[in-house]
Structure formats: structure tokens, C-alpha cells
Amino acid sequence: MVSTMKKTKTILITGANKGIGFAIVKALLEQFPETHLFFSCRDKHRSVAAINSLTSIVPGSESRLDAIIMDVSNRDSIQSAASQIECLLSQKGLRLYGIVNNAGIMNSPTGVEDVVRVNTLGPKYVLDYFYHLLEPDIGRVVNITSAAGPNYLSRCNDRTRKILTHQEVTWEQILELTEEFIRQYQESSDSEKELLNSNVYGFSKACTNALTMQQARSHTTIKINSCTPGFIETDMTLPLAQNRGKSPQEMGMKAPEEGTGSCIHLLMNDVTTGHYFGSDCVRSPIDRYRAPGTPAFNG
């Protein structure tokens, strides 16, 4: 007799306690009954509150969730989360199917370094510490980046653009650029700091799109891609509307549930590897903005 039971897909989602991460977890629980999720966030109290709210929205989901505390800006925290998940997987007799590097920040009161640490070094070290747990032939990694990455590369200096769009880009080159950016910030005047603060989010996401190409080249048996969720109303973007005295809808922001499509597509459908996708699940260039609904990028 042929079994019709689907094998459990275990997926780690970082920054899962709110916003787009929370919506991705909810969508996976509701639409993919065969999934078991490692619900990761950096704060225990926020984790408990978010899981309580999730289990009331999706009845019966308790048994499909394991809470993991992980601060993606801290390598010890990533390593200890990886050990914890390794134990949980071995108890279940499973491997890790997918990783969603969703945790991100737009700015930090302490300057640009934190933004690079969370948005670029986070996805790098998460894969470093979790790679050995992934299903060798079918594993998936989705790095949630942003259209701010292509927008940044469309107006930055030629050298940075050339490095971050080169198909053979190395991690050492990406790291060097991040160190240069941080050094420039430390050595700059207050007005220059303001400009760098406003650019660091796009810069960090451009670096993560380049990292995605590099990771896909180094790990050829699994699928590693990045995507933008679209312009979504969350705690990250609300200040943008408030500062302009507009509502999130007037700004064109969508609900978090509408920001999950590209991530779910890259996790669950037949896709290529090493590419960046728009919120409409269509492949997009990493050095200029491609609007949803316009033709796919084939470069």
C-alpha cells in the first residue's frame, strides 16, 4: 500500500513574534498541515505572548510549535539555538527542511553596526550554524531582504555595486564592505552620520542579496533565495506613516498576511536557487527596483 501521508517539514522562522514573521508562521500552520515550526525570537516574554495569541488563532497548533530563544546578532545565541534544535530534531527523528531568516531592523539608536549585525551577519551565521541540520537534497533557505536593497544599489558608488552584483562575490568581500561602512560611520560628522543611518538598511539588505548568491554557490544541493515581502504595515514601517501624518493604507502598505506570499513560494514551490524575488513571487534584479506585475528578470 502506498502511504499518502506527507513527511513532516520542519521550518525555523527567526523574528517570529510579530509582523511578517508572525504572519509567515500563521500562514504555514493554516495552509501546510504537515509543517512543524521552530518559532524563534530573542525575548522569552514576547515569545510566550506571541505563541499564546497564535494558538488561539489556529486551534490545535501547540503541538506543531517549539519556542526557540535566539538573538540573531549574537553568535553564541545562534549556536545554542542550533544545539537545542538539533536535540529536538533527533527526538523527532527528523532533519530541518527550511530556514526563514526574517528577523530584521531598520535602524538602531546605537548606529549602523547593529543593523548590519542583524540584517546581514544574522542570515550568514544562522546558515553557518544550522547548515548541517538541513535536509541535504531538499532543504530551503529564504532570506527576507527588501526592495531597499536594489534601490540602494541603483544609486550607490560603482565599486560597491560591482562587488555586490558579481555572481562570484565572496563572503570576505561582503564582510569587508560592511566593515568599511561601519568605519566610515565612526569617522564621520553628525550630518554625515545621519545620511549613513538612512542608507544602512538598504546597504545591509543589498549585502544580504549578495550573500544569498554566495550561499547558493557554496551549498548547491539546497535552494537558497531572498525576497521582499512588499510594503507591509508592521512596527518597522508604522513610523514612516506617522512621520508623514498619513495612514498605513494611504502610504500603500498592506496587511502582514499579504507579505507572506513570496516567502511561502520560495519555501514550498519548485524554484531556482541564488536569486532575489519580488513580493509577486517573480524573479527580480538586485541592482534596481522591479515593480510587481512587470516582467521577470532573466539576467
Residues that bind ligand NAP (CB under 6 A): 14-15, 17-21, 41-43, 46, 71-73, 102-105, 118, 144, 146, 228-229, 231-232, 234-237
In 3D space, the residue among 141, 109, 105, 133 whose CA is nearest the CA of residue 120 turns out to be: 105
Min dist CB 4 to ligand NAP, Å, is: 35
Closest to ligand NAP by CB, 191 vs 253, is 253
Shortest reach from residue 217's CB to ligand NAP, in Å: 22
In the 8-state DSSP scheme, what is residue 62?
Answer: G
From residue 72, alpha-carbon distances to 12, 14, 203, 217 in Å are 12, 8, 18, 23
Helices (H), ranges, 32-92: 44-57, 75-92
The CA distance from 145 to 123, in Å, is 10
CB 155 within 8 A of CB 202: no
- 86 or 114, CB closer to ligand NAP? 114
Distance in Å, CB of 23 to ligand NAP, minimum: 8
Nearer to ligand NAP, 24 or 213 (CB): 24
Instruction: Give bridge partners of residue 11 from the DSSP assignment.
Output: 37, 98
To the nearest whole angstrom, how small is the minimum distance from the Cβ of residue 190 to ligand NAP? 25
Query: In this complex, which beta carbon is closest to ligand NAP, that of residue 35 or of residue 146?
Result: 146
3-state secondary structure of 181: helix
- Neighbour count for residue 160 (Cβ, 10 Å): 18
Shortest distance, position 151 Cβ to ligand NAP, whole Å: 11
Toward ligand NAP, which CB reaches closer, 106 or 174? 106
